[in-house]
């Protein structure tokens, strides 16, 4: 048996970051930038007003107050999206809207509320003069040119995962496209004579293929593009044909056929088509997995991950091995799930010194997190996986976890709403 870490390391050493592609910024969401993004101009491009109000020379407003307004002559108006050539000299002001460039000569903006404009309108007084009711310091309500981004600055570095704010920065730099690491295409192949696709009727002894769906859904969650190949029968010819079809991708994930019983057919096919090792990994569920590379007809090597067939085993091994591999191909170095420490609510016996991944539902209690085992833990019991929002880890060297013991829990979902 090899430790989980060794298996993961071997997998990560074999898969590579994919090449860049250029695509419209919005569709580059959740992809990793393949180059630095440098600003060619300042943002904001000019000093501008943070308020609706009056652009003034701060020195003109000394001593202004409700009882002692300072009257300025209104010599113009400027809205966002326009500029004004009017220059403010002592004793004058320009009415200004949020986002409008500051007129030359002004160094502060007095917001409407601190002027007598409303009062004047009520009294139907002329608006060519305005009373300032509060003194302004230089810079008041002014957003200086370049306060967000400076020309020449590297705003987003290569390797950055593009979130909505990053997309916004690209947009504010006027960019239509971004150069990002492309998403991996991952083929999904289920194997087993007993499997039928959903929507078809079952003959005695048959079951529906669920792994193609859980795996494809997880690939999508990891930011990959799933290509469902279908079901390979446990025969040389069928497997060969399906696998060959599946190699038209960045990675192939199969499930089933790697445990002792059906080892041979799969093993023969994989040995013929590439270089694959079978590992028994020190984990539960999910002991048997296969990993290696398979060659396409034109000599390209495609990483292949062979997951166990049991529905929960395939999901948990996907979590530990396929997810990190897909993230690496996407250019994301950090592949661990968020982890919390939680008190387990029932005993878990570790019979054979493997690392146990127990399906749990974590909840936040007053004195910390609690992890409740979601039900029977058989590796074919998908319903207890569906209930779980985390995997509680019982270490290899623990013979037993007792109720109340604190276990590390990998969170399966990103948001707290699901906790
Ligand atoms: P295997 O690893 O092929 O020996 O399969 C182990 C168990 O998982 C068997 O009970 C299979 O019927 C079941 N199994 C294998 N593949 C799938 C699948 N795609 N969907 C649902 N169950 C499966
Ligand atoms: Mg099978």
416, pLDDT greater than 80: no
Per-residue pLDDT reduced to its tens digit, 82-110? 999 999 999 999 999 999 999 999 999 99
Distance 308 CA to ligand 2 centre (A): 9
Nearest ligand to the C-alpha atom of residue 256:
1
Calculate how far, in angstroms, residue 205's C-alpha sits from the geometric centre of ligand 2: 13
Q: Is 308 in the pocket of ligand 1 (CB under 6 A)?
A: yes
Which pLDDT score, from 0 to 100, does residue 285 have? 95
Give the whole-angstrom CA distance, residue 245 versus residue 390.
Answer: 34
User: Which bound ligand lies closest to the C-alpha atom of 381?
Assistant: 1
* pLDDT at residue 253 in the model: 98
Residue 94 has, within 13 A of its CA and on its CB side, a CA count of: 26
Residue 264 has pLDDT above 70, yes or no: no
Model pLDDT, residue 278? 86
Weakest mean pLDDT among 156-165, 244-253, 329-338, 409-418? 409-418
Please check the confidence at residue 263 and state whether its pLDDT lies above 60. no
Residue of minimum CA distance from atom 5 in ligand 1: 309
Ligand 1 atom closest to Cα of residue 310: 8
Mention every residue, 6+ apart, whose C-beta is less than 8 A from residue 26: 167
The verdict on the CB of residue 306 being under 6 Å from ligand 1 is no
For residue 286 and ligand 1, the question of a CB distance below 6 A is answered with no
**CB 135 less than 6 A from any atom of ligand 1:** no
Across the chain, what does the average pLDDT equal?
95
Residue 41 has pLDDT above 80, yes or no: yes
Report whether residue 310 contacts ligand 1, using a CB cutoff of 6 Å.
yes
Q: Whole-angstrom Cα distance, residue 201 to residue 207?
A: 9
Nearest Cα neighbor of 81 from 63, 94, 62, 100 is 100
Instruction: Give CA–CA dist 292/14, Å, rounded.
Output: 8
Domains of the chain: 4-17+183-329 (3.40.980.10), 23-42+148-181 (3.90.105.10), 48-143 (2.170.190.11), 339-418 (2.40.340.10)
Identify the residue whose tokens are 């028994």.
Answer: 280
How many Å lie between the centroid of ligand 2 and the Cα of residue 196? Answer: 12
Q: Bigger pLDDT: 39 or 286?
A: 39
Retrieve residue 120's tokens: 């004047």
Q: Which residue among 197, 218, 255 is best mutated to probe the pocket of ligand 1, counting the most ligand atoms within 8 A of its Cβ?
A: 255
Burial group, residue 298, by CB count within 10 angstroms (0-12, 13-18, 19+): exposed
Q: Whose C-alpha lies nearest to ligand 1, atom 3?
A: 256
Q: Distance, CA 257 to ligand 2 centroid (Å)?
A: 4
Q: Which of 33-37, 126-130, 415-419 has the lowest mean pLDDT?
A: 415-419
Taking the alpha carbons at both ends of the chain, their separation in whole angstroms is: 34
Percent of the chain at pLDDT > 90 equals 91
% of the chain at pLDDT higher than 70: 98
Q: At a CB cut-off of 8 Å and minimum separation 6, what does 394 contact?
A: 348, 350, 355, 356, 358, 401, 407
Q: Which atom of ligand 1 is nearest to the CA of 190?
A: 19
| Cβ contacts of 155-159, under 8 Å, gap ≥ 24 | 155/37, 155/38, 155/39, 156/33, 156/36, 156/37, 157/33, 157/36, 157/37, 158/33, 158/34, 158/35, 158/36, 159/32, 159/33, 159/331, 159/333
SS3 state at 226: strand
Token pair of 57, please? 């020379």
210 lines ligand 1 (CB under 6 A): yes
- Residue 252 CA to residue 254 CA, distance in Å, equals 6
Tell me, using a 6 A CB cutoff, whether residue 311 lines ligand 1.
Answer: yes
Q: 259, 252, 255: which is closest to 274 by C-alpha?
A: 252
Residue ranges of E strands in 313-354: 339-344, 348-349
Distance 310 CA to ligand 1 centre (A): 5
pLDDT score, position 271: 83
Q: Is the CB of 148 under 6 A from ligand 1?
A: no
Interval 332-351: pLDDT, tens: 988 899 999 999 999 999 99
pLDDT digits (tens, 9 = 90+) for 198-215: 999 999 999 999 999 999
> Rounded distance, CA 43 to CA 45, Å?
5
How far, in Å, is the centroid of ligand 1 from the Cα of 220? 22
Q: Residue 209 Cα, ligand 1 centroid: separation in angstroms?
A: 8
**pLDDT of residue 258 exceeding 90:** no
- Using CA atoms, how far apart are residues 1 and 145, in angstroms rounded to an integer? 62
Count of CB atoms situated within 10 Å of the CB of 252: 25
- Alpha helix locations (H) across 222-336? 236-246, 263-273, 311-317, 323-329
Whether the full predicted model's pTM is greater than 0.85, yes or no, is yes
Q: Which ligand is nearest to the CA of 212?
A: 1
Quick check: CB of 209 below 6 Å from ligand 1?
A: yes
**How far apart are the CA of 232 and the centre of ligand 2, in A?**
10
Q: Rounded to whole angstroms, how far apart are CA atoms 415 and 419? A: 7
Distance CA 163, CA 154 (A): 17
Predicted pLDDT at 339: 95
Predicted pLDDT of residue 269: 86
């Amino acid at each position: 048996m090899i430790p989980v870490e060794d298996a993961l390391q071997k997998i990560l050493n074999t898969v590579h970051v994919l090449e860049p592609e250029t695509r419209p910024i919005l569709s580059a969401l959740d992809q990793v930038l393949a180059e630095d993004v440098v600003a060619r101009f300042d943002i904001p491009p000019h000093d501008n007003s943070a308020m609706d109000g009056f652009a003034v020379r701060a020195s003109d407003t000394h001593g202004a107050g409700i009882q002692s307004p300072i009257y300025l002559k209104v010599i113009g108006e400027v809205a966002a999206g326009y500029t004004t050539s009017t220059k403010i000299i002592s004793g004058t002001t320009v009415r200004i809207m949020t986002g409008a460039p500051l007129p030359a000569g002004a160094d502060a903006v007095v917001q409407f509320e601190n002027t007598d404009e409303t009062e004047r309108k009520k009294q139907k007084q002329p608006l060519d003069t305005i009373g300032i009711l509060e003194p302004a310091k230089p810079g008041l309500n002014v957003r200086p040119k370049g306060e967000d981004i400076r020309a020449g600055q590297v705003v987003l570095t290569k390797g950055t995962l593009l979130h909505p704010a990053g997309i916004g920065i690209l947009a504010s730099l006027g960019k239509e496209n971004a150069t990002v690491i492309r998403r991996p295409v991952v083929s999904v192949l289920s194997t087993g004579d007993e499997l039928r696709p959903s929507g078809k009727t079952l003959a005695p002894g048959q079951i529906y293929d669920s792994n193609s769906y859980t795996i494809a859904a997880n690939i999508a969650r990891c930011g990959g593009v799933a290509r469902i190949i279908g079901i390979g029968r446990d025969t040389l010819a069928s497997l060969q044909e399906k696998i060959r079809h599946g190699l038209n991708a960045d990675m192939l994930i199969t499930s089933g056929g790697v445990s002792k019983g059906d080892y041979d057919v799969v093993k023969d096919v994989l040995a013929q088509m590439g270089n694959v090792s079978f590992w028994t990994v020190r984990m539960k569920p999910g002991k048997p997995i296969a990993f290696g590379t398979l060659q396409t007809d034109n000599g390209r090597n495609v990483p292949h991950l062979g997951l166990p067939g049991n529905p929960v085993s395939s999901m948990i091994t996907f979590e530990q091995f396929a997810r990190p591999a897909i993230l690496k191909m996407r250019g994301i170095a950090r592949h661990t799930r968020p982890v919390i420490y939680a008190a387990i609510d029932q005993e878990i016996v570790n019979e054979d010194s493997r690392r146990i991944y127990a399906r749990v539902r974590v909840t936040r209690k007053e004195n910390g997190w609690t992890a409740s085992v979601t039900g029977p833990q058989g590796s074919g019991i998908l319903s207890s996986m569906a209930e779980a929002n985390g995997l509680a880890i019982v270490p290899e060297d623990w013979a037993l976890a007792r109720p109340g013991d604190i276990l590390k829990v990998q969170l399966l979902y990103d948001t707290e709403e699901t906790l």
